[in-house]
Each structure stands twice: as C-alpha cells, then as structure tokens.
Amino acid sequence: MLTTTQTIAWLDNFADKIETNKAYLNDLDTPIGDGDHGSNMVRGLTAVKAALADKGEADVTTAFKTIAMALISKVGGAAGPLYGTAFLEMAKTSKAGNADLASLIAAALAGLKKRGGAVAGDKTLIDVWTPVLAAVRANQLTPTVIKTAVESTKPMVAKKGRASYLGDRSVGHLDPGAVSSGDLFTALLETVVQS
C-alpha cells in the first residue's frame, strides 16, 4: 500500500530528476515536438511540490488529486492532461481502497490510453507504462526494465501526438514523454519499491 509520505517522496524525487534532465528533455522534444517538454514538466512539478507542501498530512487520495490538478493547470502541451489524468485515476483507485502499486499504475495506464487514444507501439509514454505495469505485477521492476522500455521508442514510427506529423522521420528519436515517464518510474523504484 502506497502511503502519503511515500507519494510525496516519490514526486519530490521525480521533480529533481526532471529538473536535472530539463535541457535533455527539451532537446529530445525539439525535432519531434515543440522543444519544451522539459521546461513544461519542471513548471508543473514545481507547482506539485508547492501544492503538496500546502496540504501537510493529507491522505494519499488527496495527494494524488493535488498532484493531478497542479500538473493539469501548469504543464503545457499534451503532457499536462496526460500526466494529470494518470494521477486522477490513481486518486479514484486509492479512494476506492486500492493503494497497491499495481492497481494504481493499472488505473493510470487505462486513463492514459483513454485520454490519448494511444496503444503500445505508437511511440508514446504508453510504451513505458505498459511494460512497467507488467514488471510491477511480477514484482520485477528494475532500472533495466525502465531503460529498455524508454529505448524501445527510438525505432518506432510515431502514430500519436505532434511527432506523428513527421511519419517515418520520427524514427531514431526517443519519445520525450516516454523519457520523462522513465524518470517517473526510476524515482518510484528508488523511493518506494527499493525503500
């Protein structure tokens, strides 16, 4: 069961990783997007940290809702609604009494698919969330699983989002949302799974 303290530590770690990788994420987004994925995510996660600090000892459902609202209101492009949806679905699931990681990630992934209309193989963050969920269910989430999932987007042709306008020219580029999702799950691994 994920606790509020773990959730806040997870998001703090995620925010630190995104801050460190901001320029890299922007560079990844330049040839296939708007070139601002890193900057947008930093803005959103700065808002998340501030909002969570204001909540004090909130329950985990409130924490997830707070994260979702901050991301939706502060992150531009597709990333805000997508990440926001993921955490809103986690909030709904935890409110229903399921705060185990597999249930939370499964609910978030279902929400992401519905919101973005993407499936595995479309060169989106779904390509990271799908294998991560399988690994969490099998109790086998490792840095290698995450890295392999992120790297899998490089040879794909983008079928969703801005990158899809490039068609075959999107091949050879990592999906920025997949990379930031990799940071999200690496932070989860370090903060919650291995702690």
The whole-number pLDDT of residue 95 equals 93
CA distance 160 to 171: 13
The pLDDT, as a whole number, for residue 44 is: 97
Is pLDDT above 60 for 195?
Answer: no
HSE-CB at 188 with a 13 A cutoff on CA atoms is 21
pLDDT, tens digit, 9 for 90 and up, residues 100-153:
999 999 999 999 999 999 999 999 999 999 999 999 999 999 999 999 999 999
Q: Which two tokens stand for residue 69?
A: 């609202």
Q: With a cut of 80, say whether residue 55 has pLDDT above it.
A: no
Q: Is the dihedral of CA 13, 19, 20, 23 positive or negative?
A: positive
Question: pLDDT, tens digit, for every residue of 154-185?
Answer: 999 999 988 999 999 999 999 999 999 999 99
**Average predicted confidence (pLDDT) for the chain:** 94
User: Following DSSP, what letter does each residue of 12-79 receive, concatenated?
Assistant: HHHHHHHHHTHHHHHHHHHHHS-S-HHHHHHHHHHHHHHHHHHH-S--HHHHHHHHHHHHHHH--TTH
Q: Which two tokens stand for residue 7?
A: 């959730």
- pLDDT average, residue stretch 65-91: 95
Give the mean pLDDT of 63-91.
95
Q: Which of 179, 12, 187 is nearest to 79 (CA)?
A: 179
Query: Is the pLDDT reported for residue 186 higher than 70?
Result: yes
Distance CA 128, CA 82 (A): 14
CB 189 within 8 A of CB 142: yes
Q: Which domains does the chain have, with CATH numbers?
A: 4-193 (1.25.40.340)
* CA–CA separation, 30 and 10 (whole Å): 28
CB 37 within 8 A of CB 29: yes
- Quick one: tokens of 2? 């994920």
